[in-house]
Amino acid sequence: MRITIYFVFITLCTATPQTWQSTKVFYQNDRLVYASDAENNKVPDFSFAGYKRSEDSIPTVPVVKTISPVSGDNTTHIQAALDEVGRMPLNANGIRGALLLQAGNYNVFGTVFLKYSGVVLRGAGDSENSLTSTIIIGKGDDPHQRTILVVGGGSNTMWRDSVSGTKTNITSDTVVVGDRTFTVANAAPYKVGDNIIMYHPCSEAWLQSVDYGGTNGTEFWTVGEQPIVYNRRIIAKMENTLTIDAPVFNHLLRQLSQSYIYKYARQGIVTNAGVENLRIDIETAGGVDENHAWDAVDMVQIEDSWIRNCTFLHFGMSGVQTYTATRLTIENCIAKDPISIIEGGKRYNFNCYAASQLILFKNCTAINGRHHYVSNGHSLTSGIVFYKCRSEKTNSSNEGHRRWTQGMLYDNLVDTLPNVSNHILGLYNRGDYGTGHGWASVHSVAWNCKAGQRDIIIQKPPTGQNYAIGCSARVISGNKPPAPYNQPQGYIEGKDKAGLVPASLFEAQLAERLNPSPVEDQKGVIPSEGSLLLFDAFPNPFNPTVKMQITLRNKATLKLEAFDTLGRLVSVISESTLQAGIHQFNWKPAVNQASGMYVLQASADGHAIMKKVMFLK
């Protein structure tokens, strides 16, 4: 049987008085168009963030071991069970299995390490009821301000380990934000699939171009401090031209700094690790007590992994913190009510630290922190997406926090509850705050965010741009006030203007990337002798129902099925004999069906067409 795969994306964006499009990102002939300014700045494609670049759904990993809580300290009890699962063999999909912690209270006086690829730590639920949920209680303060759960290899290497003899210079004079293709001096050591590190040194010329960080006359950034680094894979090679799996989020100009690449040795990297359906509650004395465990979960030296359906309470620093981390998804999680003095370096509920890239925070909620959704990294951190998240009662802003984080997307962030801070979102200059934070973010976007009666600050960095498009707030401005420092205003469009199309930038970019252009789709891909002529699916992504239109050339028995990305049958949507013509179908996944990518297959008379669709809860 000949299988033909092609994708069609239909966008319903007919111009009406209720809808509008940005001049920076807009649909033209059903495809997204990105407008560049005179400096080649443009909105980047953020859709590569998340587990396996959001191309595959998070797997449902089978339970291979189950434990219940024991009296006293459960640290060794949980660790021994994780170690046992970690010694099991990996299957063909890189999975070992899940350790299930049955409902109950697990007192933990130390740190638990999930340091194995293909292992999931799963609880029974994340509510406060220990009869139905799994509650890990962080007890004591030994060592002082420790982390309760570390997921990954555990070392913040920042991708420094290289394969000897593979370093070569990037010879393209200009690689601009959003680019994925460039030339190198010698591509001989490289092949498709290789994991490479792109390194843009922090030179004197580059520092001069960005006003030494814009630190308000103090704490100037110095040579070598702020290299721009990207963790990528090669997906195509032609002579000395390489194409990578995700874009760069900053201009790499050879006249300012000679960038280079090297093959990453990947020492200690953990993949396909997950934490699911549990609650971590850190025991404190309340108030401003700081003698307690400090982070609920650190994800370190890790990639293509996830946390979902978890709640984290009473941390001092973070509910989830990432570093030396790539392509992670944190979804349907709550990080709330930290306990500490309310000041700098504390209460960063969801925190991307140094060397965090392509991280997706989806449908999360943060409460009572300072910087709820934040890059606390610097120039090694990029491609961070906060998608449909809530920020409640924050004491400061959600933001790029320091030293040239690139490519942050706040997509449909909502904060409408009272808080202490006057501004809840900032893509701006932080001057001499902290250790000379200066330009904290660049090439970053606030898209369709709702700030209630608080402010959004958007400023333009030298050599780059930041954007606020379709957002609502009391004030959206780059001026001082509300900005703390005088700098040029960034790009602001459509303040308080409803009806932005697309409503979600991340959804639209992901849908388009997973679906080739309509013209290319229909060019020579349908066998002339086949019964199937056309297969449309829309909307895509969808929730709760995807609609399908299938055209039959002749009378035929048509079978329409849904599969997950592992090839497992999810649903037989229809199977019947139909006349020639156009036929309409709907598929609504089951209530317990996980978000993610699915494959719809229509087959008739020995021919089939498949289409990927994204289900977003």
Is it the case that residue 519 has pLDDT exceeding 60? no
Is it the case that residue 566 has pLDDT exceeding 90? no
Domain locations along the chain: 63-160+271-370, 168-263, 526-615
Tens digit of pLDDT for each residue in 596-616? Answer: 888 898 888 777 788 888 888
Q: What is the pLDDT of residue 518?
A: 40
Per-position DSSP letters for 223-268, written without gaps between them: TTS--EEEEEEEEEEETTEEEESS--SS-EETTT---EEEEB--TT
Given pLDDT bands bounded at 50, 70 and 90, which one contains residue 565?
Answer: confident
Given pLDDT bands bounded at 50, 70 and 90, which one contains residue 421?
Answer: low
Please compute the mean of the pLDDT values over residues 504-529 and round it to a whole number: 61
CA distance 544 to 547: 10
- The percentage of the chain sitting over the pLDDT mark of 90, rounded to a whole number, equals 77
> Which of 83-92, 409-418, 515-524 shows the highest mean pLDDT?
83-92
Please compute the mean of the pLDDT values over residues 380-409 and round it to a whole number: 96
Tens digit of pLDDT for each residue in 86-126? Answer: 999 999 999 999 999 999 999 999 999 999 999 999 999 99
Q: Does domain 168-263 have CATH number 2.60.40?
A: no
Q: What is the pLDDT of residue 527?
A: 33
Span of 292-301, 341-350, 389-398, 592-601 with lowest mean pLDDT: 592-601
Q: Which has the higher per-residue pLDDT, 302 or 345?
A: 302
CA distance 54 to 43: 19
Please compute the mean of the pLDDT values over residues 363-369 and round it to a whole number: 96
Please compute the mean of the pLDDT values over residues 494-521 and round it to a whole number: 81
Closest CA to 207 of 260, 172, 257, 173: 257
Please compute the mean of the pLDDT values over residues 567-584 and round it to a whole number: 86
CA distances from 221 to 198, 434, 462 (A): 21, 13, 14
473's CB contacts (< 8 A; 6+ apart) are 424, 425, 449, 450, 451, 452, 453, 454, 455, 456, 495, 496
Q: What is the pLDDT of residue 5?
A: 31
Q: What is the pLDDT of residue 522?
A: 33
Pair 200, 248: CB distance under 8 Å: no
How deeply is 233 buried, as exposed, middle or buried, from its count of CB atoms within 10 A (0-12, 13-18, 19+)?
middle
- Asked, as a colleague might, if the bond just before 482 is cis with ω within 30 of 0, I would say yes
Residues in the chain: 617
Given pLDDT bands bounded at 50, 70 and 90, which one contains residue 533?
Answer: low
Q: What is the pLDDT of residue 175?
A: 97
Q: Which has the higher per-residue pLDDT, 396 or 521?
A: 396
Q: What are the φ/ψ torsions at residue 398 (nearest 5 degrees)? A: -75, 135
Task: Compute how many other C-beta atoms are within 10 angstroms of the C-beta atom of residue 291.
Answer: 12
Q: What is the pLDDT of residue 288?
A: 95
**Which residues share a beta bridge with 67?**
101
Structure tokens at 255: 């006249």
How deeply is 38 buried, as exposed, middle or buried, from its count of CB atoms within 10 A (0-12, 13-18, 19+)?
exposed
Is it the case that residue 9 has pLDDT exceeding 50? no
Span of 33-47, 190-204, 349-363, 412-426 with lowest mean pLDDT: 412-426
What letters, b where the CB count within 10 A reaches 16 and e where it falls short, cover 58-67?
bbebeebeeb
Element (H, E) at 136: strand 134-138
Pair 412, 388: CB distance under 8 Å: yes
Q: What is the pLDDT of residue 523?
A: 31
Domain 526-615: give its CATH code.
2.60.40.1930
CA distance 220 to 240: 37
Instruction: Please give the CATH architecture assigned to the domain spanning 63-160+271-370.
Output: 3 Solenoid (2.160)
Is it the case that residue 26 has pLDDT exceeding 50? yes
Is it the case that residue 244 has pLDDT exceeding 90? yes
Per-position DSSP letters for 61-103, written without gaps between them: PPEEEEE---SS--HHHHHHHHHHHHTSPP-TTS--EEEEE-S
Is it the case that residue 40 has pLDDT exceeding 80? yes
Q: What is the pLDDT of residue 416?
A: 66
Is it the case that residue 516 has pLDDT exceeding 90? no
38's CB contacts (< 8 A; 6+ apart) are none
CA distances from 201 to 193, 224, 465 (A): 25, 7, 21
Please compute the mean of the pLDDT values over residues 242-266 and round it to a whole number: 97
DSSP, res 559: E
Is it the case that residue 296 has pLDDT exceeding 80? yes
DSSP, res 298: E
Span of 172-176, 307-311, 556-560 with lowest mean pLDDT: 556-560
Is it the case that residue 4 has pLDDT exceeding 50? no
Please compute the mean of the pLDDT values over residues 513-522 and round it to a whole number: 52
Q: Are strands 228-238 and 195-200 parallel, antiparallel or unpaired?
A: antiparallel
- Its pTM stands at 0.84
Q: What is the pLDDT of residue 531?
A: 64
pLDDT mean across residues, the chain: 91
CA distance 247 to 576: 45
Report, in angstroms and rounded to the nearest whole number, the Rg of the chain calculated over CA atoms: 25
Tens digit of pLDDT for each residue in 432-448? Answer: 999 899 999 999 999 99
